[in-house]
Amino acid sequence: MRKCSQCGAQFSDNAVFCTACGNHLNTNAEQSINNEMQNSVLPKQSLTGPYQTQPFAPATTSDNRKIYSILAYISFFWLFGLLAKPEKFDSRVRFNVGQGIMATITSAACSIIAAILTAINNTVFRTEISYFGYSTGNYTTSALGSALNTLVWIAVFGITVFYMVYGIVKVSKNNDSYLPVIGKLAFYK
């Protein structure tokens, strides 16, 4: 058993990443390559890079992966996780950005459906405004139509807030899981 140089956690001899902090661990083969590189005249290269993927590891307080994963569920803030280096190459951030994109698409689709339903309600429940028995040529939506419009928009707001809160709570508890109903449709992973 060896210890991680970053957090001090113990790990098996064949481990490549620390399960506690996600730190890349030098194996015997990599260590011998590093020793050869140190003794050679070639420029030194790092074994870790931005394209190297690391497994999900519990987030620490200074871990940006958790911040970008939480931001992924707030409207279009998933763009930060999509564009920020080196986090955009991390599998955890990519997973949550994909879920955030699906939540945004679902919210937009629900808003379009709600706008169509509102237009239909305004047409069906339209009444003409009249003063003292004279028609004015102006129309308004009846109280029932207005109530239906309000219920439709409350439902859209509720769906949007549900996915946002659900995703943020799951990431905060280090439990990255699919969003209900739409999560497995995510095309960005």
Distances in whole angstroms, Cα of residue 119 to Cα of each of 105, 124, 137, 142:
21, 9, 19, 13
Distances in whole angstroms, Cα of residue 155 to Cα of each of 23, 169, 183:
44, 21, 19
Helix-, strand-, coil-residue percentages of the chain, each rounded to 5: 50, 10, 35
Contact 167, 181 (CB under 8 A): no
pLDDT digits (tens, 9 = 90+) for 108-125: 999 999 999 988 888 888
Cα distance between residue 112 and residue 4, in whole Å:
52
Residue 80 vs residue 40, higher pLDDT: 80
- Nearest in space to 22 (alpha carbons), one of 69, 78, 62: 62
Cα distance between residue 162 and residue 130, in whole Å:
42
Contact 93, 69 (CB under 8 A): yes
pLDDT digits (tens, 9 = 90+) for 91-103: 788 888 888 889 9
pLDDT digits (tens, 9 = 90+) for 132-186: 777 777 777 778 888 888 999 999 999 989 989 998 898 888 887 888 888 888 7
Give the containing element (helix H, strand E) for 168: helix 143-172
Angle at 171 between CA 72 and CA 105, to 5 degrees: 35
Give the containing element (helix H, strand E) for 61: none
pLDDT of residue 55: 47
The per-type count for the chain, helices as H runs and strands as E runs, is 5, 4
pLDDT of residue 183: 80
- Nearest in space to 19 (alpha carbons), one of 55, 48, 50: 55
- Nearest in space to 185 (alpha carbons), one of 163, 170, 169: 163
Distances in whole angstroms, Cα of residue 26 to Cα of each of 13, 17, 50, 74, 98:
10, 9, 17, 37, 31
pLDDT digits (tens, 9 = 90+) for 15-63: 666 766 666 666 554 555 555 555 544 444 444 444 344 445 554 444 6
pLDDT of residue 43: 45
Kindly tell me the burial class for residue 42, based on how many C-beta atoms sit within 10 Å of its own C-beta (0-12, 13-18, 19 or more).
Answer: exposed
